Amino acid sequence: MSLTMGGGPFAKDAPDTVNYTLESPHHALHAHPFPRRVRAELGGQEVLDSERGVLLHETSLLPQLYVPAEDVRTDVLTPSDRSTHCPYKGDASYWHMRVGERVAENAVWAYPDPGPGAAWLRGLVAMYWDAADTWYDEDEPVRGHLRDPYHRVDTRPASVLVRVAFGDVEIARSARPKVLSETGLPNRYYLPPNDVRRDLLVPSRTRTLCPYKGRATYWTLRLGDHEVPDVAWSYSTPLKDGLDVRDHLCFLHDELTVSAERS
């Protein structure tokens, strides 16, 4: 995804189509200031508030926010016995976070004496996303994790005939799909609901959360007594990057055949 995943310049599968050589270890670190205020709440109280965040991009990992230690409430922290070692950043120390009856174990970590390749981490701490009840990017609640500024989602109408089938049974056929291009991922075709055999689909309990497109609802294929779970997903209440595919369905499953023919 972006710089560190999906073929990005700092990814393990970095492209060969460049005219430069990165003089760096196989595992790269790249940090830059995050441009907006970020806050976190636990147990109804604000525990982190920073306008000086640093977003760390690390090979094969999602970007991680680090903030100055003084931007986290020290009165809710207690030292943990946990310690981990990273060959690129150094030895990490951890703290539990408690607000009233709410406890997030090993919620915060830091590198008190970071390695020479990450000396700029000194004085900064990080907090697990699932340790907080709510995160805010300025005043907007964060879904999943902070959006990566190098990550894009673009949707366009496409002159393609898309067919979706399970064996000999056609599930969907559309000449008006939308193609969604997302950084580091293959293009996906989203089909209007009227072009889908909705009588063959039933809602699944599966839900996933994308910080760019929103919360996805999944659909199970039902043919008589036979069911194939989670063959498609859709966004009924998408975030900004998913508005163009609201209520459209995207199909992806090993038991399905999805073909696209240019007109």
pLDDT at position 25 is 56
pLDDT at position 254 is 97
Percent of the chain with pLDDT over 70: 96
pLDDT at 8 over 90: no
**Mean pLDDT, the chain, whole residue set:** 93
pLDDT at 1 over 60: no
Burial 118-140 (b: 16+ CB within 10 A, else e): beebeebbbbebebbeebbbeee
pLDDT at 131 over 90: yes
Closest CA to 214 of 147, 151, 263: 147
Q: How many helices (H) and strands (E) does the chain have?
A: 0, 21
pLDDT at position 22 is 65
pLDDT at position 3 is 77
Task: Fold for 153-262, please state it.
Answer: 2.170.150
pLDDT at position 184 is 83
At 201-257, the pLDDT tens digits run 999 999 999 999 999 999 999 999 999 999 999 999 999 999 999 999 999 999 999
Element (H, E) at 176: none
62 confidence band (pLDDT: 50, 70, 90): confident
Question: What's the whole-model pTM score?
Answer: 0.82
Please state, in angstroms and rounded to a whole number, the distance separating the CA atoms of residues 53 and 38: 8
Cβ atoms 33, 27 nearer than 8 A: no
Please state, in angstroms and rounded to a whole number, the distance separating the CA atoms of residues 243 and 247: 9
Per DSSP, 146 falls in state P
At 109-122, the pLDDT tens digits run 999 999 998 999 99
Owner of token pair 């000086």: 52
Task: Fold for 29-141, please state it.
Answer: 2.170.150
pLDDT at 179 over 90: yes
Q: Which pair of structure tokens corresponds to residue 67?
A: 């903030």
CA 196, 201, 202, 206 torsion-angle sign: negative
Residues of the chain with CATH 2.170.150.40: 29-141, 153-262
Mapping DSSP to helix (H, G, I), strand (E, B) and coil, where does residue 167 land? coil
Please state, in angstroms and rounded to a whole number, the distance separating the CA atoms of residues 27 and 10: 8
24 confidence band (pLDDT: 50, 70, 90): low
